[in-house]
Chain A
Amino acid sequence: MRISNAMGGVAGALAFAALAAPAPAPNPAVVARVDLTNLGLEDLMALEVTGVTGRSGTYLRSPAAVFVLTREDIQSAGARTFADVLRLVPGLNVVRSNATGYTVTSRGFGGDKLQVLIDGRSAYSPLQSQVFWDVFDTYLEDVARIEVIRGPGATIYGANAVNGVINIVTRPAADTQGTHMHAGGGEEERAFGGFRSGEALGDWGHGRAYVKARERDSTDLASGAPAIDGGQQVQAGTRVDAAIGGAHQLSFSGDIYQARFYSATFPGGATTDTDASGRNAGVRWTHTGAGGGETLTSLSYDGYDRSIPTIFTESRDTYNFDLRHNFAAGQAHRLSAGVGARATRDETGGPPLVIIFQPAARTAYTYSAFAQDEMTFGDWSFVLGTKYEHNDFTGSEVQPGVRVAWAPTKQTFTWASVARATRTPNRLNHDIGLVCTGAGAPLPQCTGPGIISIGNPDFDSETLVAYEWGLRSEIRPDLVADLALFFNDYDDLATTEPPLRFENMAEAEGYGGELTATWSLTPSVRLAAFYAYLKIDARRDAGSADATVVNTLENGSPEQSAGLRLIMQPLPAVNLDGFLRFVDSRPANSVPGYTELNLRAAWQVTPLVELSLTGENLLDPQHPETGAVATRSEIPRSIFAEVTWRWR
């Protein structure tokens, strides 16, 4: 079913709902921008408040380069995908390669050095240690916050949390009661819509379910001709939370999706559609002991199928188990420890597909354990921790870290950290192969029919030792500044040796910093600004013949980036959001620097209904984010309208 048809169906359902809806019961919650003194106590007590665990509380005292996007930040920006939302985060680089494909990196290097979790479930694929951002989605209104840590988080999150961790937390089902619907469309974001409904389930819990669909237009080639790379996706999901007694909380969540992306270009210039589908389910059980100790047990499943006819197919099922416990030991210590296990099994297609894996099917196991002690002595605190991980590719990996923090005043907080992290090999590093059909086909490295084994069974982990320092200051109650500096020392980085084989023959240093400031000029005008600097020095080993790796590492990430965001409510019912960003050139990827502007105006027509108009990438008719001029997809200006509404 084409998504535009689905949209028609949704619109019809909504029209029906509008006619059939009885006078809505008073909703126990309110919109932020109405005069709250009009509300009774019951309504006020049901209202979720921001700024509780936000900027000046835990945020000010996090001993890491942390940035938190709140639900308000996300809603106000109006972005349609996680990747586009992440453009708001200082130090992250989001590259959109075509209509639906993205790469997200933190402090340079590739997307394989970033851990991404949603409600504790890892979202990256063990195939190439990257997130398939094109299909990664949820009902965005249900996201409570996105916490981004730049720098390693491996002592807790394990391998892959090398340059950063993105932790997406969805709202408890109790907070998403009633029905929420949205629909919209325009240029580029051709059509999107969906609804979510939440209910109390007896006196034991709450649940919600959603369904959504979206369709994106094709981007354009540099010549102006369409790149024919649009796509569409339908997704549904649910979350059920239950409280058992006071001490036990159970949470179940699951999603399914189906997507099709048109005409991606692959080695040799072949173009073909991509079909992707997936499903996941997870159970989390939290037990709070009488002494304040907390035990979290989680079990999750994630499966997907991706098929690019004539090029590549993959089916994967991943099972994950985690057990974590933390408790206070005396006044000064908080100890946490945990164990985990993961099994992932895939099946990939063989020749005549162009990209194959040897063996075609493989099951890989990972076992891990971690321990951490958070110590507080007056103004000082220390975090000592390490993760031990055993994987099938490299055996044991140890990833320790130490953090020190000092809060000399209530308004000032400074921290420093040294940590080791590794990016363990994946299926691609080990097992990928290219099927040659003849000399020079499909790639120049082919000498005749046969298979080139690009993957290397001896490929080792890429390693990082990171040194970080940060300072956070509440200069005034309405002005918070955050500075983070880092020096990252990488070793055993991947190279591609002739004719085509992965080795660990490069090393690099990355250094730089990010400066962020948020300023609430008045309660209805907020300003946020960031500047990020990154420099990478890379070398290849004497034995390496990879002529491009140094350039790729040094010039593949933007040296500078900056953002300026203004959110204001000129009238109680109107929210305006402007985001201006600059991203430096990436010569290794043939792209110049660019400056783009997003604007969104939202009008709260009634407390139930919001109309908005969003413009993305307004400064140019189209701009490139990666790739050579001749073949790259350039991202066009996008303007779309949206309506959201809700009732009980």
Chain B
Amino acid sequence: MALTRALPALAGMAAALAFALAAPAARAQGTADLPAVKAAFVYNFIKLVSWPENRFSSPAAPLQVCVLADDPMQPALRRSLAAKLVGTRALEVASLEAEGDVLQCHVLYLGGHAVGRHESLMARVRGQGVLLVDEGPQFNWPDGMIRLFIEQNRVRFELNLESLERSGLRVDPRLIRLARIATR
């Protein structure tokens, strides 16, 4: 290849490199894997929700994120959240048996649409300071707290402030501002 032909491409790359160095902080557009995005949402929810102090044995106790053993979201949650820190607390992702102790959980993620099983779990954590995140086809009344859904290829979420309050969870206003408020 003649050098003259290569020059424009080389000049372009030099320009790109200069730009790359000048703009390290910005982020670019792209598409992403759906489970990874949902897991990242959960991580943000954890940062913007505060649990009652009595839900932890000590200030350094880990924060438990529970997910049913056969939930399709389990691998993504483990990959994205395990061992991450929120404040002073490390996140732990735990597999939950359907009859297991749900009160060890601070977050209970109910993926997929296994509705029958989910309703009984939701009833069991009612008012117990467990943040429920689900992705059912409709909002789960009365116990649902945060529902993830997809609209125009983007993940959205809706909140039920009543059930969050009933559980003693405090929600950062930033979370409310970005949410759709669930209505019956």
Taking CB atoms, residues of chain A closer than 8 Å to B26 are 23-27, 606-608, 647-648
A37 vs B37: C-alpha distance in the bound complex, in angstroms?
8
Contact yes or no, B178 A41, CB < 8 A:
yes
Mark B47-76 against chain A: 1 for CB-CB distance below 8 A, else 0. Answer: 010000000000000000000000010011
Is there a chain A Cβ closer than 8 Å to B20's Cβ? yes
Is there a chain B Cβ closer than 8 Å to A193's Cβ? yes
Taking CB atoms, residues of chain B closer than 8 Å to A187 are 1
Is there a chain A Cβ closer than 8 Å to B79's Cβ? yes
Taking CB atoms, residues of chain B closer than 8 Å to A43 are 27
Nearest CB on B from A515, distance (A): 26
Contact yes or no, A12 B11, CB < 8 A:
yes
Is there a chain B Cβ closer than 8 Å to A15's Cβ? yes
A641 vs B9: C-alpha distance in the bound complex, in angstroms?
8
Is there a chain B Cβ closer than 8 Å to A564's Cβ? no
Tell whether A49 pairs with B34 under 8 Å between CB atoms, given A10-B12, A14-B16, A185-B8.
Answer: yes
A477 vs B74: C-alpha distance in the bound complex, in angstroms?
13
Taking CB atoms, residues of chain A closer than 8 Å to B23 are 21, 23-24, 606, 608, 647
Is there a chain B Cβ closer than 8 Å to A643's Cβ? yes
Mark B1-39 against chain A: 1 for CB-CB distance below 8 A, else 0. Answer: 100111111011111111110111111111111101101
Contact yes or no, B29 A29, CB < 8 A:
yes
Contact yes or no, A184 B155, CB < 8 A:
no
Tell whether A32 pairs with B31 under 8 Å between CB atoms, given A18-B19, A41-B175, A477-B72.
Answer: yes
Specify the chain A residue showing the minimal Cβ separation from B2.
Answer: A190
Contact yes or no, B178 A30, CB < 8 A:
no
Taking CB atoms, residues of chain B closer than 8 Å to A32 are 30-33
Nearest CB on B from A173, distance (A): 13
Contact yes or no, B9 A14, CB < 8 A:
no
Contact yes or no, A44 B31, CB < 8 A:
no
Contact yes or no, B156 A37, CB < 8 A:
no
Contact yes or no, B40 A37, CB < 8 A:
yes
Neighbour of B14 across the interface among A15, A29, A176, A646, CB < 8 A: A15
Tell whether A52 pairs with B15 under 8 Å between CB atoms, given A30-B27, A32-B31, A646-B29.
Answer: no
Nearest CB on B from A206, distance (A): 12
A15 vs B156: C-alpha distance in the bound complex, in angstroms?
38
Contact yes or no, A71 B31, CB < 8 A:
yes
Is there a chain A Cβ closer than 8 Å to B80's Cβ? yes
Neighbour of B29 across the interface among A4, A24, A27, A190, CB < 8 A: A27
A36 vs B36: C-alpha distance in the bound complex, in angstroms?
7
Contact yes or no, B72 A52, CB < 8 A:
no
A184 vs B10: C-alpha distance in the bound complex, in angstroms?
8
Mark B163-178 against chain A: 1 for CB-CB distance below 8 A, else 0. Answer: 0000000000011001
Contact yes or no, A523 B36, CB < 8 A:
yes
Neighbour of B12 across the interface among A14, A41, A48, A72, CB < 8 A: A14
Taking CB atoms, residues of chain A closer than 8 Å to B39 are 36-37
Specify the chain B residue showing the minimal Cβ separation from A141.
Answer: B29
Q: Which of B17, B20, B48 has the most CB of A within 10 A?
A: B20
Mark A399-443 against chain B: 1 for CB-CB distance below 8 A, else 0. Answer: 000000000000000000000000000000000000000000000
Contact yes or no, A645 B20, CB < 8 A:
yes
A83 vs B29: C-alpha distance in the bound complex, in angstroms?
26
Taking CB atoms, residues of chain B closer than 8 Å to A611 are 13, 16
Taking CB atoms, residues of chain A closer than 8 Å to B13 are 183, 611, 641, 643
Is there a chain B Cβ closer than 8 Å to A40's Cβ? yes
Tell whether A8 pairs with B7 under 8 Å between CB atoms, given A46-B154, A49-B150.
Answer: yes
Contact yes or no, B12 A45, CB < 8 A:
no
Contact yes or no, B12 A50, CB < 8 A:
no
Specify the chain B residue showing the minimal Cβ separation from A609.
Answer: B20
Is there a chain B Cβ closer than 8 Å to A545's Cβ? no
A185 vs B11: C-alpha distance in the bound complex, in angstroms?
11
Contact yes or no, A36 B18, CB < 8 A:
no
Is there a chain B Cβ closer than 8 Å to A47's Cβ? yes
Contact yes or no, B12 A37, CB < 8 A:
no
Neighbour of A4 across the interface among B8, B16, B40, B175, CB < 8 A: B8
Tell whether A47 pairs with B37 under 8 Å between CB atoms, given A26-B26, A191-B9, A645-B19.
Answer: yes
Which residues of B pack against A, CB within 8 Å?
1, 4-9, 11-20, 22-34, 36-37, 39-41, 43-44, 48, 72, 75-76, 79-81, 84, 150, 153-156, 174-175, 178
The 4 closest A-B pairs by CB, nearest first: A183-B12, A185-B9, A36-B40, A7-B8
